[in-house]
Amino acid sequence: MSRLGDWLDERTGHRKLLAEALDEPLPGGARWAYVWGSALTLSFLVQAVTGWLLMTVYQPSATTAWSSVWYIQHRVSWGWVVRGLHHFGAQAMVVLLFAHLGQTAIFGAYKKPREMNWLFGLVLMGLTLAFALTGYLLPWDQKGYWATRVATNIAGSIPVVGHAMQRLLVGGSEYGHLTLSRFYSLHVFMLPAAVVVVFALHLALFRKHGVTPPEDADATKVEPFYPKQLGKDLLVGLAVLGILFALTLREHGAPLDAPADPASNYPARPEWYFLALFELLKFVPGRIEWVAAVGLPFVLGGYLVLLPFLDRGASRAVRARVRWLAPIGAVLVGAAALTWRSRANDAADPAFLAARATAEKSAAQASELATKGVPPSGPLAMLAADPATQGPLLFQKHCAGCHRLGELGPPADKATATDLSGWGTRAWVAALLDKPDALHMFGATAFKGMMPSFKHAPADPTEAAGFKPLSEADESAVTDFLEAQARGDDAKGTAGEKQIKQRCTTCHRLDGEEPLDPESLAPELRGWASVAWTRHQLVNPGAGKTYTAASMDEKLEGHMPAFGKELEPSDLDLMAHWLTETARKLPVAVTSAKP
């Protein structure tokens, strides 16, 4: 080994390089306060290694980015570990950077002759935040997409240069492939190259001037970097790695929201280190948002740049520099207070919590669908073809103004159409036969009073005289028959069909035959609540397949409109399947008989 070392040293001079690195003198001796720079360097190396590994699988386009990140998370061996380390390592860099700058400011290490090193440190801070901002978008999920839109819109609001800056970042007027390509090139090439160059200059100046001990350090005590300081740096570095692995294991990688959808309504929030700025914007009118979002960070950055030239006193004692450090402390306290306020407001906001729960459910559904494969057209096409994902969105947009279905739609006392929870089941039919004018049936609709109860005598004594309630056996036959229709079974020749013909065809049609009452507004019962019946109802309820044109007469207020021209055929198919399946899984609503 000695001969090998001699051979290598003759050709590389590595022993001299090691001696220069390890024998660096530390005035005042080794200190825990000096570990932050080394820990920050280690976290950057973690980012570089994990970033290179992610690049071997990641595909930067609007149709492939989310799918490739999902593949890394769920299919690549140890991919979730690599992604988790990269995700939490980015946050560690922000924490360690501020700790390093804070220690530098407290020790007065920005003073002559170290002004340039301080400035290079500030440049590294800006580059680190730029890393965080550009990396945010790369998964092309809801969280990154909407947070980036907010950031670029704020940049676009800056007078004179804002519009051009926004178009440069976005790659035009629309967010898509070009946006992702530009952020990707910034994140994996331009910013890393800039960091390496600036860090090299920063390190060179640090070695030139050495460490800055605290004001009260013993100047006569000088220790080499090795072994004490190196040991402290390694211990803190291992602690940082341990925390990153612990967070990665706890979260099983890193979060991944549903695929980015420009048409969705997502509760966008930035990462915790931008939350203070996000909360601050709530106090600023929209037209001058850029003043707070861009102006205040610019002023703070300007103050940090000028600090070495403003604080030119000889003393590095904290007490002698309170007036210069106080503004920095005030900003940190204010940022912490705003961050806490933002978290507290979100935790106490039912609307935000509900939107957050919906977003998490959408993310889980998207991940489950991806296990079956993502089509070449992208994850949005995958979601658009999924009833469980698209059904609630279509229902909220087109049906929830009148109907209620489970938790979807208006409150029970605000609905103007039947509650569809349990629709197509024996229980729903039984509830209808019992109290057709209940609030969750026809009580709040234009059809109130048109269908009699089959269980309770009419209030009018004349009509009640010949009333005979439906027996349990007959009720069971009718409900069985109608539930069979909803399942797609015509149930011909059953006892239920005989009861329907005897008791219901006075008003209802069956197999297209006109009812005995020519003014009847009741629907066709063959196929009632089935997928085909429901699709006909969505296309045009008055086309004769479900209701007749007369029953959908414009004189009736609140009747159901036709969606045949408003919805695509694929959406009509999807909606019919989702609605019938979802309704049958829900319990029947129960409300009073009076609207």
pLDDT in tens, 167-197: 998 888 889 999 999 999 999 999 999 999 9
Q: What percent of the chain has pLDDT over 90?
A: 58
The tens digit of pLDDT for each residue in 335-389 reads 999 999 999 999 999 999 989 998 998 999 999 999 999 999 999 999 988 888 8
Helix (H) or strand (E) holding 442: none
Domains and CATH numbers, the chain: 22-358 (1.20.810.10), 389-458+468-585 (no CATH)
pLDDT band at residue 595 using 50, 70 and 90 as cut-offs: very low
- At residue 131, the pLDDT reads 93
- At residue 594, the pLDDT reads 46
Alpha-carbon span 478 to 497, nearest angstrom:
7
- At residue 179, the pLDDT reads 93
DSSP3 helix / strand / coil % (the chain, rounded to 5): 60, 5, 35
Instruction: Say if CB 211 and CB 30 are below 8 A apart.
Output: no
Burial class (CB in 10 A: 0-12, 13-18, 19+), 336: exposed
pLDDT band at residue 449 using 50, 70 and 90 as cut-offs: confident
Alpha-carbon span 240 to 41, nearest angstrom:
11
Instruction: Say if CB 480 and CB 496 are below 8 A apart.
Output: yes
The tens digit of pLDDT for each residue in 537-573 reads 999 988 888 888 776 665 555 578 899 999 999 999 9
The tens digit of pLDDT for each residue in 452-504 reads 889 888 887 777 777 888 899 999 999 999 999 999 998 898 999 999 999 89
pLDDT over 70 at 242, yes or no: yes
- At residue 591, the pLDDT reads 60
Any long-range contacts for 312-321 (C-beta under 8 Å, 24+ apart)? Answer: 312/111, 312/112, 315/108, 315/215, 316/107, 316/108, 316/111, 316/212, 316/214, 316/215, 317/108, 317/215, 317/216, 318/106, 318/215, 321/108
The tens digit of pLDDT for each residue in 499-529 reads 999 989 888 989 988 888 777 778 999 999 9
- Helix then strand count (H, E) for the chain reads 24, 2
pLDDT band at residue 593 using 50, 70 and 90 as cut-offs: very low
The tens digit of pLDDT for each residue in 26-71 reads 888 889 999 999 999 999 999 999 999 999 999 999 999 999 999 9
The tens digit of pLDDT for each residue in 74-121 reads 999 999 999 999 999 999 999 999 999 999 999 999 999 999 999 999
Alpha-carbon span 369 to 479, nearest angstrom:
36
